[in-house]
A and B are shown apart, each in its own frame.
Chain A
Amino acid sequence: MAPPVEKHALRWVVSLAFLAIGLGVAAYRGAALHEELRQYVIVIPAGTAERLAAGDTTGAPPHSFELILGVRDVLVIQNEDSAWHQVGPYRVAPGHTLQQRFSRPGTIRAACTITASQQVEIVVREREGLFTLP
């Protein structure tokens, strides 16, 4: 049978371990919530479809553009135009906002109605940092 002093010490160690785990998970979660705030917003102004159809590419990305996003980043496409728009695999109705959170790395190359080249490349990478999220 262990002496009382050793038993007390063991209880303290276990208690501190519990606390450390709890604080660690809370800190990790807090970091994750902070990371969630990363949003990449694309606003498609009214008249975009008409301007591009008329050959006016003012303000439109001239070539394929690359969106470099981290895992868990959120792509927001806000369509203020009166026409549907497509950014890669995402088609957004007029007056609507689409949100896509990315859960794994990858590259999407697809059609796009807001670039002069009508192509877009979305690159999703693991972001490096203290808290590399799953």
Chain B
Amino acid sequence: MVRRFGTAALLALALLALAACGPYEFKGATLNPPKPMADFTLPAHDGGQFRLSEHRDGLVLVYFGYTYCPDVCPATMYQIKRAMEELGDQADAVQVVMITVDPERDTAEQLGSYVTNFDARFLGLRTTDPDALDVILADFGAYYTIEEPEDGGNDYSVTHTAAVYVLDGGDLVEVFSYGTTGEEMASDLKHLLRSRQR
């Protein structure tokens, strides 16, 4: 009787294990095939240079935004911060960069203060060369438009792509749309990091 009980329990456990298996379901939008990205180098807020090709050993999260953004940017950066917290030690394999689309107002100092307020490991990237910025944006399929201020002053807003781009080995593999939670991002990033180890 005890043996039958054990067999039944084992069978049930095996079924449970089988049920738990299955392909991983990405939360973000995945690209097939991954899109190889052109290398770029941009000045970082800390005085260094960020070169994309130097980060092929890990994941890179790229976000285009600006520090004066009233809602979308802080909300998105907060979710990225949550994702990094969720990743724990694995976050060391992920470099987050925010590329400003408003270099006029986002000084290196202000950009640095903004991104590190979310996470000390985040990097703010800034170029005052609009052509260089446009080339990078085009490669990501991103865009930005500086809206005309109503009073003609400096109080303008910038319409921009609100996605978070995930690069793995220098290739664009996934895009998180605005509204993706930090937990969802972390889940996908963990899966990507696990896949790299195989």
Contacts and interface: CB of A to CB of B under 8 A. Distances in A.
Contact of B178 (A23, A26, A89): A89
A113 to B, nearest CB: 11
Nearest to A11: B5
A15 B19 contact: no
A100 B19 CA distance: 23
B32 A97 contact: yes
A46 interface: no
Contacts of A32: 22
Contacts, number: 88
Interface residues of A, number: 32
A84 B175 CA distance: 15
A26 B23 CA distance: 15
A15 B4 contact: yes
Interface string B173-184: 001011000001
Contact of B1 (A8, A90, A103): A8
Contacts of A21: 12, 16
B29 A97 contact: no
Given A11-B5, A93-B35, A96-B31, A22 B184 contact: no
Contact of B175 (A16, A19, A90, A103): A90
Given A15-B4, A19-B8, A100 B29 contact: yes
Interface residues of B, number: 36
B1 A22 contact: no
A21 B178 CA distance: 38
B179 to A, nearest CB: 8
Interface in B63-102: none
B26 interface: yes
B16 A22 contact: yes
B197 to A, nearest CB: 23
Contact of B163 (A11, A23, A89, A103): A89
A22 B9 CA distance: 9
Interface of B: 1-2, 4-5, 8-9, 11-16, 18-20, 22-23, 25-33, 35, 141-142, 161-163, 175, 177-178, 184
Given A11-B5, A89-B178, 5 more contacts: A22-B13, A29-B19, A91-B163, A91-B175, A99-B32
